[in-house]
Each structure stands twice: as C-alpha cells, then as structure tokens.
Structure 1
Amino acid sequence: MDLPSASASTLARRWQWLIIAVIAGWLIWLLAPVLTPFVLAALLGWLGDPWVDRLERRGRSRTTAVVLVFTLMVLLLSLALIILVPMIERQIMELVESLPTYRDWFVQTAIPWVEQRTGLELVSWLDPQRIMEWIRGHWQQAGGVAATFFGHLSRSGFAVMAWVANIVLLPILTFYFLRDWDKLVERIAALVPRDHIGTVGRLARESNDVLGAFLRGQFLVMLALGAIYAAGLSIVGLKLGLLIGIIAGLISFVPYLGTAIGIVLGVVAALVQSGGDWTLVALVMAVFVVGQMLEGYVLTPRIVGDRIGLHPVAVIFAIMAGGQLFGFLGMLLALPVAAVANVMLRYAHEQYTRSPLYAGDRPAILLDSYIDNGAIGETPPQDRDGK
C-alpha cells in the first residue's frame, strides 16, 4: 500500500472513531435518567469485585463470594444509616434552634467588625423595611419564578416515581454487576481491535489503578477524617461538632478544601457558642491541625500509598463539567472519565517525547549518551580528536 492511501485509511479510521464517540455522547445525554442506576450499580460492582475475586482465590464459588460481599455492603450501609441518621437529625435540630443566636451574632458582632475594617455599610441592607421594599419591587418577577417552580413540581410526579424505582433497582443491579463483572470485562476486551489490544489493555490497567487509588483510597480517608473531626470536635465541647466534622470529612476528597471549610464552620460555631471566648476556638483549630497531621503522615501513606491519584483541580472541573453536561449521571461518570483522560494525557505525552517532533533531527542515541555522561552541549569525543 502506498503512503497516500495508508494516510487516507488512517484518517478514515480516526473519523469513524470520532463519529462513534459523538453518537455515544449523544445517547448518554438522552438516556441520562435511565442510565443513572446502571452507572451507580456498575461503580459499586467495580468497587466490590476485588473482594469477590479474593474470596474466589480462597476456594469460594463466584455466587457465594458475591452473596457474601453484597451482604457485607448492605450491612455496612444499613449500620451507617442506623447510627448516623439519628445523630445527624439531632444536630440539624440543634442548628435550627440556634439560628436566632447565629443571626444575632452576625448582625451585632460579625457585620459591625467587618464594617469597621472595610468601611462598607452592610447593616443597612439587613433592615427589615428595606427588605420588604425590595420584595415589593421584585414581587412580579418572584411570582413568575415561583409559578414556574411549582408548575415544574406538579409535572415532576413521574420523575419522583422514577427515582423511587431507581432506588429499588440499585441493589438488584449491583448484585448482577458483582456476579458478572469479569464476564463483562472479557466481552468488552473482545471488542477491542486486535492490533491495539496491547495498548488498550495497558491504558485500561493504568486507568483502573488511578481510579482505584482515588475512589477506594480517598473514600477510606474521607471516612477516617470525618470520624476524627466529628469525634474531636465533640470531645472539645462543640455542640455542632458531629455535623461539621462529617461535612469536612466528606469534602476532604479535595485536599485542604474540607479542612478549610471545616475550620470556617467550626470557628463560627465556636464563637457563637462561647460568646467570643477564644479558648474553644483554639481547641477547634487544634482538632483540625491534628486531623491534617494524621492524614499527611498516617492515613494517606498507609491507605492510598504512592499510587497516582487525580489532581484536585481535575476532580473539581470533572464533577462540575459532568453535572453541567449530563446532570447527576455526569457527576457519577466524572471521576472515571477524568481518570481515563489523565492516563490518556500521560500516554500522549509519552508518545510525543518519543516522536521526531520532540527529538528533532539529532540521533536519539547520541543525545541520550550526552545526557548520561552529563556533557550536554559538549563536543563529542571523536570531534575532539579530529576524527
């Protein structure tokens, strides 16, 4: 085959893959509400598959291993709900009862403090008469928004029923994904073009490692940090310590973001609760400092290790972009897609550094020899001798 025809064939294949990707994205966008329980069940099946494989290697049948892992997952979830839901409910009731105290603190303490240091007039915006005038001026617009909102709610009965059906389907789908996960992987691998099976297999393994390091490792770190923050804040006497600790732990998948939000919420709660006593504030800060030290020196090295995770900026962008494009389904798909994209970018960088576009016309072996000898830019030995 001559060069022009080979280039045309390669270009045609690339256009075919691009068209397939566009059609797949369009179908995902159309079927997002239907695909949501399937994607969530697939993620749960992927998370539980290593445990099933481990039990199989110990002599259990696939069905028995799946039943044991599935039962363990259901028990852990049920236990978490039984323990946490009443505690969180009490914390929320505590917060609701304390709202007048928080309002008075913001109006009488926080806002005047900010006004003194910035020169802004913020209290006037909180005047009830001014708020009522603003509401009257925007009443028609607010009424139109409210009518649209409640009209949407009246038409969304079917959507609520669909969500209930999805919740019922989720455990069923998870069980089947756990049972047939290895078969699904084999069938997908069988569809890969044979001349690319090596590269695709390598990229798939790397993507699995990246996603596994983030989801499995960071999930355990999130749970541990949530427990540490909640227990520590409760021990030092913060009334909303459990709620703030859980929030900080759940957001800690982005490094430092969970700690920053937890410190802000904890400091405000401590100031309101103590009436300005900085002792409780110092204890709250100490809890988060200890939590960060445990995460950096104990939790992350032992649980996540040196496996490659996702950059926090990539995580935030992926979740926001996925939610904007595909809703809740996009948020579920965001991290797997980001993991694959991260691996693909590394592969593209690797191919670029091996290409003539990066190396130029100089022989790669000669360049490597100079680098190894620490003599970049020096004259080759044969040129020094005049040979």
Structure 2
Amino acid sequence: MDQRTDDSNEGQSDAPPRKDRGFLHRVVLVDGLAALFLLTLAGLWFASDALLLIFACMLFAILLHALSSALQRRLHLRSHMAALVIVVTLMAAVLGVGGWLMAPQLSEQASHLAQVVPTSLDQVRAALARYPRLKTLLAELPSNAQISKQLAAMAPNAGLFFSGVLGALGNTLIIMFAGVYFAARPRLYINGIIRLVPIRRRPRARAVLDELGTTLAKWLMGKACSMLAAGIMTAVGLSLLGIPLALILGIIAGLLDFIPYLGPLMAGVPALLIAFSASPEQALYVALLFGGIQLVQGYMMEPMIDQHTVSLPPALTIAMQVLFGAVFGMAGVALATPLTAVLLVLVTMLYVQDILGDDARPPAQQK
C-alpha cells in the first residue's frame, strides 16, 4: 500500500503543474501565431508584384462589371453576360480603331518627345547659368545621364509583374483577360472567398465584399471621367498655345491623372520643359494652363464627381502614395488610392462598426 502511494506521488511530481501547462500552452500558441504572422508578411513581400497585378485585374473586372450592369439596366437586357459582351466589344472597337488611326502620329510624337525633353533640360540649365543666384539650383539639377540611369532603375519597378516594353504589354494582356474572366462570373469567386469564413460570419463577409465592390466601382467611374477630362483639356490647351506634341502630352496627362495629386504634377514636367525651350513666357503660359486645369478639376469637377462616387481624404491619399511608393515602387504609387479605399472600407466595417460599435459609414456612403 505504501509502495503504491510512493509510486503515485513520484509520478505526480514528474508531471508539470496545471498552471505551468497552461502557461506553456499559451507560449506555444503565441509563438505559433507570431511565426504565422511573420511568414504571411514574408509571403506578401516576396509576392507583392503578383498581388498588385491580381489587384489590377480585379479593378478592371469591377470596371467592366459596373459598365455592363449600367448597360443592362439601360437596355433592359435579361442576361448580364450579353451586356458584358457588348461592353467588351465596344471597348475593343474603340481602342482598335483609335489606335489604328492615331498610331502613326503617336509613334512619331513619342519618339520626338524622347529627343526633345533632354534638349529642353539642357536649355533650362543654360538659362539658369545666366543668373548667379540660381547657381545652387543649377548644381542640384541632375544630368541627362543621371536622369537616364534613374529612369532605367525605375523601369523594373514601374511594371506589376514583368518589366520593359514587352513586360508592359504582357501586364496589359493579363489584366484584360483576367479582368474579363472575373467580370463574367463574379459570384463564383466571391462565393469561394466567403466559404473560407465561418458560417455565422458569412452574411457579414458578403456585405463587406459587396461594399468593397461598390466603393471601387464608384471610384473607378469617377476617375475615368476625371482622366478623360484632364486629357482633353490638356491636349486642347497645349494646341491653342502652340506647344508641339500636344496630343501625346494630353494622353500622358490623362493617364497620369489616375494618380491623384501627384499625377498632374508629373504630367506637367515634360510640357513645361518643351515650352521653356521655346521661351520662358511660353513656359509661364503652360504653367498657368496646368494650374487652371487643376483649379477646374479641384473646385468644379471633383466635388461634382465626389457627390456621386467616393471622397477620400487628400492628406491620407498622399501619405498612402508615399508609403506604397516606398515599398512597392511606381506600381504602388499608381494603385495607392484604390488600395486606400479598400483599407478604409475594411477598417470602417470590421473594426469601427463590428468591434467599436460605432455607426460610421464607409467612404461610398459618405455624401
């Protein structure tokens, strides 16, 4: 009897106390979660280009879905697929015919632009060298070789997955084809994501995904109108001022308007350099033109567009452009604004509403 008691006590003394076992369990759980979090961050870092490309495909799919839904309502079509086919066909026809008609002029102006900008920059240096007080500014201007080197260094980061001219074409084809597939059967992919969520949280997950789609669709529609207006106003204004290469400069201004606040500044640099090569007065007129376009967009068009689309805080948008640009390069700058809209929706609905219990509204519902 005593021997069995001693053996039992000896076995109990070898086992860790219950408090120690609970502590060890929590330590292992926390370490495991930390390791999983670090592995997830590492995966996102190394796969950032592919993830940005997928996000661009989703943006194009959301745009196609929004356009086809609007067309379906206007024409009272029964099939969403028929509306999507009409939208894709019209877009392909417009791009094909427009590209065929404008390709020679665009090619000539693009090659001329690549030659004119370095020459104009040399003329700016020569003009600044005449003024002693501007020698400090002149010393800080990079040389043409340095600019070419910096552009070459930025080129690999300018794409989303591939680099170079063929890479840009490959990115465009991937975005177009994947976007069409996503837009053709959106519920298939949405339901697949929702199945990864616990059953009791699936209605809320569907509501969050629907809000994300609505927010991005409204932002894309508003941004498309803004880009078209910026391109037309820039091309027409430069033509009236007698600035050469007005068409290609207008297209550049329209495309860069996809990046709010920073894009128009980037678009104005080559136009100012070309105008300065003619005369400083011409450069002043071009600066006034771009300033007037920004005033029209900022105080007339943007408020009207925001009433029907999405209004994002300007300071937050610029901060996110700097952050994503530092982490992901030019692709991060280009996609910073829609990514900011996504983060605002997730934070508002999943944290502010669900955890804090606040009745804050997502960006698309703030009017």
Same fold by TM-score greater than 0.5? yes
Q: Given that residues 257 and 264 in structure 2 are in contact (C-alpha distance below 8 angstroms), is that contact kept between their aligned partners in structure 1?
A: yes
Identify which of 341, 344, 352 aligns with 1:342. Answer: 344
Alignment of 1:42-191 (within 5 A): 42-57=58-73, 58-98=76-116, 101-102=119-120, 104-113=122-131, 116-118=132-134, 120=136, 170-191=175-196
Query: Normalized against structure 2, the TM-score is what?
Result: 0.65
Q: C-alpha separation between the residues in 2 aligned to 1:353 and 1:102? A: 56
How far is 1:229 from its partner? 0.7
Corresponding residue of 1:4? none
Between 315-324 and 261-270, report the one with greater CA deviation: 315-324
How far is 1:105 from its partner? 2.0
- CA change 1:323–1:20 in 2 (3 A) is farther
How far is 1:43 from its partner? 2.5
Alignment of 1:36-47 (within 5 A): 38-47=54-63
Quote the sequence identity (%). Answer: 26
Q: Given that residues 107 and 123 in structure 1 are in contact (C-alpha distance below 8 angstroms), is that contact kept between their aligned partners in structure 2?
A: no
Corresponding residue of 1:284? 286
1:251 paired to 2:256: yes
How far is 1:273 from its partner? 1.0
How far is 1:271 from its partner? 2.7
1:153-185 per-residue CA deviation (whole Å, 9 max, x = no partner) reads xxxxx9889887666555443332222113322
Between 174-183 and 50-59, report the one with greater CA deviation: 50-59
Identify which of 200, 211, 227 aligns with 1:195. Answer: 200
- CA change 1:197–1:69 in 2 (3 A) is same
Root mean square deviation of aligned Cα: 4.6
- CA change 1:175–1:101 in 2 (3 A) is closer
How far is 1:294 from its partner? 3.1
Query: Normalized against structure 1, the TM-score is what?
Result: 0.62
How far is 1:238 from its partner? 0.9
Report the 3-state secondary structure (helix = DSSP H, G, I; strand = E; otherwise coil) of the residue aligned with 2:312. coil
1:224 paired to 2:229: yes
How far is 1:327 from its partner? 6.9
- CA change 1:125–1:101 in 2 (3 A) is closer
Identify which of 236, 242, 246 aligns with 2:241. Answer: 236
- CA change 1:321–1:283 in 2 (3 A) is closer
1:46-67 per-residue CA deviation (whole Å, 9 max, x = no partner) reads 2111233345552342432232
Q: Given that residues 252 and 267 in structure 2 are in contact (C-alpha distance below 8 angstroms), is that contact kept between their aligned partners in structure 1?
A: yes
How far is 1:110 from its partner? 1.8
Size of the aligned set, in residue pairs, is 315
- CA change 1:170–1:343 in 2 (3 A) is closer
Report the 3-state secondary structure (helix = DSSP H, G, I; strand = E; otherwise coil) of the residue aligned with 1:305. helix
Structure 1: runs of 5+ lacking an equivalent: 1-11, 132-144, 153-157, 356-387
How far is 1:224 from its partner? 1.4
- CA change 1:110–1:236 in 2 (3 A) is same
Structure 2: runs of 5+ lacking an equivalent: 1-27, 157-161, 359-367
